[in-house]
Amino acid sequence: MSLMRKALLWASTNAWMRERATKTAFVRRSVVKFMPGERVEDAIEAAKALKPQGINTILTRLGENIANIGEAKEVFDHYMRVIDLVHAAGLDAQISIKPTQLGYDQNPDICYDYCIKLLERCEATGNFFWLDMESSPYVDGTIALFKRLRAKSAKVGIAIQAYLFRTEKDIEELVALGSAVRLVKGAYLEPASVAYPKKSDVDASYLKLAKRLLQDDNRRPGALLHIATHDLGIQAELQKVIQERRVPADRYEFAMLFGIQTGRQQELGRQGVKVRCLISYGEYWFPWYMRRLGERPANVWFVVKNMFR
Ligand code: FDA
């Protein structure tokens, strides 16, 4: 992992930097590249604009590790409203949450109660509920939460990170259940004891795991793969595998982030390949934005240029 990436991932967890950066105009100007706005209405408008291009969406409100359980209720109410707004707008826009937004740190049972209610509302309105994956101490808990939810409904999915050594084993358990899996490379600063430090190893792991998830035996009801990467080489390789193995079109989708590889998202939409764009919004964008900067050094130069605008 490069020094710059390490520094940005370290900054993502630093409260002092968050406090200052979010008030700084040039940083705020730079964030709009990855986020249509801070309000859910901004995200819904962006989703409406993507729909005619054949691009469906996933909506997520930024925020993680709330400080007290009382805050979870506001987040829960917010997502209930989002599910209704999506329904009213006739959008195919899924919902994605982080467990620590809904009180996982304070009380996993309360977090589950909020999640199951959101999942039920998703089911009732034809929507779909995703669990994001946070840093490695949360993986066991998030998988356990997923399994409890999955026992009640197939309209729930989980993000799984290819950079973790443990993921190969986790995937086998998820395949046995019939699971919707969003395969990502992984966005957090992790120690070499749990995750591949070298990018080439992470890429190789991603390909291997995605190929595993595209195998014939991953066909239990509920099985779905979100190929959640902007890595065009990996996408092309997996498209070949999909063709060769004749993987049915309802078994996979491509998923990318708002503002990244936009041309590619449009191309997939034009080709009629299922593609989703994850749109983030909200005021608590600093840690998430640092992770996006860390993924591509060129993004840092974009921020620097904005300093002089
Ligand atoms: P990689 O980093 O190798 O990038 C490939 C190419 O894509 C780059 O060369 C560049 O061209 C472009 N690119 C990638 N990131 C960019 C950026 N920030 N700015 C500009 N260009 C960029 N992580 C996690 O830990 N938990 C989660 O729940 C999720 N959820 C999630 C959902 C979806 C839909 C996506 C697409 C990603 C996530 N992630 C995530 C983030 C993920 O772990 C990873 O950090 C990023 O997707 C970047 O990795 P890539 O696979 O895109 O490859």
Distance 230 CA to ligand 1 centre (A): 6
- Angstrom distance (rounded) from CA 183 to CA 226: 6
Tokens of 147: 């399994």
CA angle 189, 132, 241 (to 5 degrees): 90
Going from the N-terminus, what domains does the chain have, and what CATH number goes with each? 36-284 (3.20.20.220)
Judge if pTM exceeds 0.75.
yes
Amino acid in position 253:
E
Distance 229 CA to ligand 1 centre (A): 5
- Say whether 309 is catalytic: no
Which of 158, 295, 300, 303 is the pocket-test mutation for ligand 1 (most atoms within 8 Å of CB)? 295
CA dihedral 178→179→184→188, nearest 10 degrees, is -120
Amino acid in position 114:
Y
Amino acid in position 143:
I
- Angstrom distance (rounded) from CA 25 to CA 240: 45
Q: Is the CB of 155 under 6 A from ligand 1?
A: no
The DSSP result for 218-254, as a single string, is --STT-EEEE----HHHHHHHHHHHHHTT--GGGEEE
Quick check: 115 and 129 in contact, CB under 8 A? yes
Task: Give residue-wise pLDDT tens across range 152-198.
Answer: 999 999 999 999 999 999 999 999 999 999 999 999 989 999 999 99
Task: Give residue-wise pLDDT tens across range 113-162.
Answer: 999 999 999 999 999 999 999 999 999 999 999 999 999 999 999 999 99
Those residues of the chain that have pLDDT short of 50 are: none
Q: Is the CB of 204 under 6 A from ligand 1?
A: no
